[in-house]
Amino acid sequence: MSKDKIILDGLEFYAFHGCHPAEEELGQPFIVDAELFLDLAPAGQADDLQATVNYDAVYHLIRETVTGQRFKLLEALAEAIAQKILTCFPVEEVLVRVKKPRAPLPGTFNYAAVEIRRRSNP
């Protein structure tokens, strides 16, 4: 696996995911972090966008997934994002973290989150 990566950190979207009726009705913010592992040497040496993954395209794919579909579980949302990235872009591995800052939990906390790591099929 390449140690190079493209990082998208703190992408915030308003969406309607969750198991509780209020979450599905009112919605809430979700924050997504994604790390795409791939060899960045060709792009660095050629200074050519065609030799890398365009992070603007990744952003739009994540936004479309978060806001265009509904999931009960953060696990399902993270899995959908990871699988779409692996399908659409030439990456070896992807790490996806989905944060839910307004999770229906008592007390004070920053967020509830799920983090998954998936590899492309060789």
Predicted local distance difference test score (pLDDT) of residue 107: 84
Three-state DSSP at 24 gives helix
Predicted local distance difference test score (pLDDT) of residue 110: 82
Predicted local distance difference test score (pLDDT) of residue 122: 65
Q: What is the CATH number of the domain that holds 91?
A: 3.30.1130.10
> Is 100 annotated in the active site?
yes
**What is the band of 73 on the pLDDT scale with cuts at 50, 70, 90?**
very high
Q: How many distinct structural domains can be found in the chain?
A: 1
- Greater pLDDT, 25 or 95: 95
Residues spanned by the domain of 92: 5-119
User: Is the confidence at residue 104, as pLDDT, over 80?
Assistant: no
- Greater pLDDT, 26 or 53: 53
> In the predicted model, what is the mean pLDDT of residues 82-91?
97
Q: Which of 3, 5, 99, 100 is catalytic?
A: 100
Backbone phi and psi for residue 41, each to the nearest 5 degrees, phi listed first: -60, -45
Are 31 and 12 a contacting pair, CB within 8 Å? yes
